[in-house]
């Protein structure tokens, strides 16, 4: 029997994690932190907002969840909802930089709890040119 190899560390060198403050997005962040600790993945957290007045709240949620376990980059992107969407902005970021994967919550902060997967998660999983891991 041969020694275990860590192919995962090559597959997931750079991970993008969209965070909107929902519990699913924070669980996705937990998974990304675990990949960062186990495989040395570089984690970039992105928060996209139209009204970026609560960025301190998001930053404190992220810092509390990461708890100094890994180093990460945080990007806050302000958008105009009339000109773009959250999924379009995430796809732009994915296409601008060489990410290996996206880890995101299956549902965000939408009010409809009857759906299994949110529109942003669906758009990213269908259109992203990289692997997408959806966390419930």
Backbone angles phi, psi at 74, to 5 degrees: -115, 125
Mean pLDDT of 80-109: 91
Q: How many CB atoms lie within 10 A of CB 125?
A: 17
Cut 0.85: pTM above it: yes
Q: CATH class for domain 10-103?
A: alpha beta
pLDDT tens-place string over residues 3-62: 545 676 778 899 999 999 999 999 999 999 999 998 899 999 999 998 888 889 999 999
Residue that wins the pLDDT comparison between 118 and 79 = 79
Tokens of 23: 């519990």
**3-class secondary-structure state, position 34:** helix
Average pLDDT in the chain: 88
Share of the chain above pLDDT 90, in %: 72
pLDDT at 54 (0 to 100) = 80
Please determine, for residue 63, whether its predicted confidence score (pLDDT) is greater than 50: yes
Mean pLDDT of 99-118: 72
Q: Which residue has the tokens 């990410």?
A: 99
Domain residue ranges in the chain? 10-103
- Say if residues 100 and 7 touch (Cβ distance below 8 Å): no
Backbone angles phi, psi at 79, to 5 degrees: -125, 160
pLDDT at 111 (0 to 100) = 47
């Amino acid at each position: 029997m041969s020694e275990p190899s860590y192919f995962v560390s090559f597959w997931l060198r750079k991970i993008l994690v969209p965070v909107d403050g929902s519990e699913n997005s924070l669980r996705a962040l937990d998974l990304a932190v675990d990949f960062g600790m186990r495989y040395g993945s570089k984690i970039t957290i992105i928060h996209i907002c139209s009204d970026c007045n609560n960025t301190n709240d998001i930053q404190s949620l992220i810092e509390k969840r990461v708890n100094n376990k890994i180093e990460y980059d945080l990007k806050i992107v302000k958008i105009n909802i009339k000109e773009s969407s959250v999924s379009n902005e995430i796809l732009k970021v994915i296409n601008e930089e060489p990410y290996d994967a996206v880890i995101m919550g299956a549902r965000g902060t939408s009010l409809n709890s009857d759906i299994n997967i949110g529109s942003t998660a669906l758009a990213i999983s269908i259109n992203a040119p990289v692997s997408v891991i959806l966390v419930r």
